[in-house]
Structure 1
């Protein structure tokens, strides 16, 4: 499977350069669409292992939103944002491959960005090892997932039909409510913030992409590196990212506001746990976006380049079948649940794999920013590292994209351990912690892809 995706990454880059749609020198175009993905019935909610019953109503709608961009040469990108905790590998592969088959947009040119709201439904097998729920509830999850795949693919087609000439521009803003949760006790945060003594690395950048037509602001795509965990109740909600999108759309009527999550795996919105705080953080993020929109944004021209590959990330060790059988008897229901999940994988695949096919994707938006797109729950160290190495003001780094299979710790966090570095692997059903080569393996691939897309998006200068 790893080799299949390596070939896809190379082939799709070639397809990008040959262009889809052949509209040479026609200028950039953009099209959008939205889909309400709020479950129509009560079902199990994702995000927290302590949940003990299905959903109870709705605070806000959940949305899937699509933006298709087409460059001067006709190459297209499909950006899909989802008010969900995350997608599993099978679900994201189904969506991206069907988009390629039906609309000719290569797999490398489609990215699925989950907001990581913890008040959305369970999807596919994402975090499946964490939940002990009925067969009836799993059937609802399967039905929801099948409908999601079908409907998101269809919305990409609607966005293509909506393509029209547009001016694309970008800029960066700032929002400061994200706090490093590994270095600051939640109860201490208000006082530490007041004293200017919050500790630990953070990324407070707010990347913004604006799509304008002659008539209006058509779409705004923005990101932030912070967990969507203000709310923990049983009502459907987009959490602060949902409220931020609402705030942007209210401030700019007719606009399609779309959120993507940065490397916020170790970042929390603090304090939290009230609707008022979720609304306030969303409002503050929306205001940061509006300030960028009202300022001097950089126009984007030139050609899109995209590449995508799955790289093997090794586990530190694998349990034996006997160890798994013994662990199924554990009084810790999460340990026992993981053991049962892994035994199922063992039977299906005649053993466990020593590595996971981790998705790394890179886009160069013409002469605009380099966008590094990573799967999993990525800690902030990666964002800070890649911005430092690839350009602090010209590099965007997304996490929670495509396949959200586990936390992705840096070497520092892996060695420190704790939830992000070790114990979270239980809830994701992974067999062990990652091996110590994880950060260097990802960084090497990101650098390789950055070199490729930068060269591909730069036109030779006329003599």
Structure 2
């Protein structure tokens, strides 16, 4: 018969073994890596069609300078939470197209539609897509038919990209860092012809966001699988008739050439009031692309902060109110004016009044916040967002923040209170090109910032 002391030691040993198994299980769970998958597809139009971004263009595209791409990254954390980002070499997408894409991805994969972000580089040498900037273009029905065909094909391509990226999930490690770049200039405060002299004198004015956030995705051995990077600056170096992704397209191509078998994805920042200056030559577009790629590589070669495999995603749509719209008599007067853009916009508003009896009083504004590794927060804002938002949110939420505009759908410029009070193109004048009734209400900034902060908590 075993002695009592032996029985006691056996019991203690059993408890130690049980504790070890519990600790080992916890450690094993903690060691589970991220999973990441990538996919890409060429989206350069196969036929000559209208380019987007400039109302002054008078004929379709003439050729290709550099191919346009759609790219997707899928992420899954150790708890099985999944998210998908699709980057597009396009000026923007409208709500109808974005909603259809997210819904179809959800139906085919089961991933929550709220966990899908579409992000546009805002190149002005890509095609007209869907209803985005609809009031800006005056072309014949045959050109509209081309836009419709392209949009239908794009929808299918983007859905398949997300499906493919999710099907290619494999173990990965994530880390991030922040680089810097300086070719972006606040276009509201610096006359374009004077920029070279002002830059040389250190006299450029107005806020900018020089940060280049970089997300490194590596395999479990440390080999580079992909890189996601951002910068806040309009993609408007080029204004010609050749397809291209502008400087973001050149930056992505440069990185993929330097790092074979790597996927490079660009997220446009809050660059609605920031231009790449000087500009207007292909050489400058390539130069800025190389500079941005250099900034990314310097970040990759430096000290990066590892991100544990934890992903939390929150999405919201908020009713963002418009200011008081003009009365019908004012629309009728504008519809007969000499400004063809204002007249077309007025006719559109009159048509809505005739059909619905009233104009929309608000817009369902989309935004989301992704928290990665319990450290990095990515705020994805809809519309053309001015730089003040990025700077303010970093003050409010801390430096471990990445803020992007041109996400979800691109419905209008999003001014800060400062820009709203100053007025001008970004302050409200551009609304006519987006087909919205009037500028936003004056509290647009506080509403969006408050919602972003609430999603981050």
Q: TM-score higher than 0.5 here? A: yes
Q: Quote the Cα distance in structure 2 between the aligned partners of 1:138 and 1:346.
A: 24
| Residue from 112, 115, 131 that aligns with 1:109 | 115
Give the TM-score, by structure 2 length: 0.91
- Secondary structure at 1:399's aligned position in 2? strand
CA distance in 2: counterparts of 1:296 and 1:347, whole angstroms:
60
Give the structure 2 partner of residue 87 of structure 1. Answer: 93
Please name the residue that 2:294 is paired with: 287
Which of 230, 238, 249 pairs up with 1:231?
Answer: 238
- Partner-residue secondary structure (3-state), 1:166: strand
Deviation at residue 424 of structure 1 after TM alignment? 1.0
- Greater CA radius of gyration, 1 or 2? 2
- Equivalent residue for 1:118? 124
Structure 2 residue 382 is matched with structure 1 residue 375: yes
User: Matched residues in 1 for 2:147 and 2:355: separation?
Assistant: 21
Which residue does 2:64 correspond to in 1?
58
Whether contact under 8 Å (2:36, 2:73) holds in the other structure is yes
Deviations 1:239-271 (A, max 9, x none): 000000011111111110000100000100000
Instruction: Note if contact 2:78-2:310 (Cα within 8 Å) is conserved in structure 1.
Output: yes
Deviation at 1:98, TM superposition (A): 1.4
Residues 172-221 of structure 1 show CA distances to partners (whole Å, capped at 9, x for unaligned) of: 00011110111111111111111111111010000000111137311100
SS at match of 2:143: helix
CA distance in 1, matches of 2:50, 2:163: 30
Partner-residue secondary structure (3-state), 2:64: coil
Aligned: 1:358 with 2:365? yes
Residue 199 (structure 2) pairs with residue 199 (structure 1): no
Contact 1:248 1:257 in 2 (8 A): yes
Q: Find the residue that maps to 2:53 and give its secondary structure.
A: coil
Match of 2:150 in 1: 144
Cα distance in 2, alignment partners of residues 359 and 233 from structure 1: 32
- C-alpha deviation, 1:347, in angstroms: 4.4
Matched-pair contact (CA < 8 Å) for 1:422–1:433: yes
| Counterpart-to-counterpart distance in 2, 1:349 and 1:302 | 49
1:209 and 1:346 map into 2 onto residues whose CA distance is 47
Q: Which residue, out of 179, 187, 190, partners 1:184?
A: 190
* Alignment check: 8 A CA contact 1:26 1:73 kept: no
**Which moved further from structure 2: 208-217 or 366-375?**
208-217
What SS class does the counterpart of residue 199 from structure 1 fall into?
coil
Is residue 430 of structure 2 the alignment partner of residue 430 of structure 1? no
* More divergent stretch after superposition (356-365 vs 112-121): 356-365
3-state DSSP of counterpart to 2:71: strand
Distance 1:336 1:308 in 2: 36
Match of 1:298 in 2: 305
CA contact (8 A) 1:132 1:337 kept: no
SS of residue in 2 equivalent to 1:442:
helix
CA apart distance, 1:340:
2.2
Contact 1:170 / 1:368 at 8 angstroms: preserved in 2? no
Consecutive unaligned residues of structure 1, counting only runs of 5 or more, are 1-22, 452-463
- Identify which range, 363-372 or 187-196, moves more after superposition: 363-372
| 112-121 or 289-298, which deviates more | 289-298
C-alpha deviation, 1:365, in angstroms:
1.2
Counterpart of 1:326 in structure 2 is 333
Contact conserved, 1:32 with 1:162, CA < 8 A, in 2?
Answer: yes
- Do the aligned partners of residues 348 and 308 (structure 1) sit closer, same or farther apart at CA in structure 2, a change above 3 Å counting? farther
Aligned to 1:390: 397
2:159 is matched with 153
Deviation of 1:61 after TM superposition, in Å, equals 0.2
Residue aligning to 2:229: 222
Higher deviation after alignment, 408-417 or 301-310: 301-310
Equivalent position to 1:408, from 404, 407, 414: 414
1:275 to 267, 282, 292: 282
- Taking the aligned partners of 1:301 and 1:24, their CA distance within structure 2 comes to 9
What is the CA distance between 1:418 and its match in structure 2?
Answer: 1.2
Q: Deviations over 1:154-176 (max 9, x none)?
A: 11111112111111111100011
Report if aligned partners of 1:264, 1:399 keep a CA contact under 8 Å in 2.
yes
- Please tell me the root mean square deviation across aligned C-alpha atoms, in Å: 1.4
The secondary structure found in structure 1 opposite 2:63 is coil
CA shift, 1:298, in A, is: 1.0
Partner Cα separation in structure 1 for residue 374 and residue 325 of structure 2: 45
C-alpha displacement of 1:323:
3.1
Query: 2:322 maps to what in 1?
Result: 315
2-structure distance, mates of 1:61, 1:347: 43
The alignment's TM-score, normalised by the length of structure 1, stands at 0.90
Number of residue pairs matched?
A: 428
Q: Distance in 1 between matches of 2:348 and 2:212?
A: 38
Task: Give CA deviations for 1:131-168 in whole Å, capped at 9, x if unaligned.
Answer: 11111111111111111111111111111121111111
Distance 2:351 2:156 in 1: 27
